[in-house]
Amino acid sequence: MKPTRPELPREFIAVRKRRRITDAMAELCAKQGYEATKIADIVRLAGVARKTLYDNFEGKEEVFLAAFDSATAEMTARIEEACQEADGEWVDRAAAGLQAFLGYVAENPAAARLCLIEAMSATPTASARYDETVQGYVELLRHNTPSDKNLPDTLEETLVGGVAWILHQEIRRGGAEKALDLTPELLDFLVSPYRGVGN
């Protein structure tokens, strides 16, 4: 008798379908931008029924926001894990965090593009969420670098903005997969302002 396939739990299938939908949104945004992307495009690429999309999401914007949230959650988790596991000085933590971030970009170019580029212009809610996420990374950086009364309050904001800008350009040039090549320069950029602090 042929062995039957074990039934996958319902929730697992549902999660996988959601994932296919959000992945499809990222791919389509990368190719043609948010505005030009239609529900029909998403369901076709994701291989799901229209009904399935609308069972899970209210509409196009919600798909986008879900894609954004899951990508940034993954990014943040990788960075935090790398920082915690890093041994040694704060510079090693910063290096580990940066590499985790760039590694994510290199492995997930479409998702990275969605977060770093499309979110800013997709919808007002998306750009507000982008701003909140940036604030989160500003605080993460602040937490993992030395504090000193001589350092400007705006330093971490400026540093995160600079890194985001470099990546924004790199992704647009089609260089997302090589993001890790930027590590030495970006690390230097991140740590230089702190050199000489507390010496």
Residues contributing to the site for another protein (CB under 8 A): 33, 35, 120-121, 123-124, 127, 131, 134, 150, 152-155, 157-166, 168-169, 172, 182, 185-186, 188-189, 192-197
Look at the block and give the residue holding tokens 């899951």. 70
In terms of Cα–Cα distance, which of 79, 108, 106 is closest to 94? Answer: 79
Angle between helices 60-85 and 90-107 (to 10 degrees): 140
CA 152, distance to chain mean position in Å, is: 27
**Exposure string for 59-96, b = 16+ CB within 10 A, e = fewer:** ebeebbbbbbebbbeebbebbeebbeebeeeebebbbb
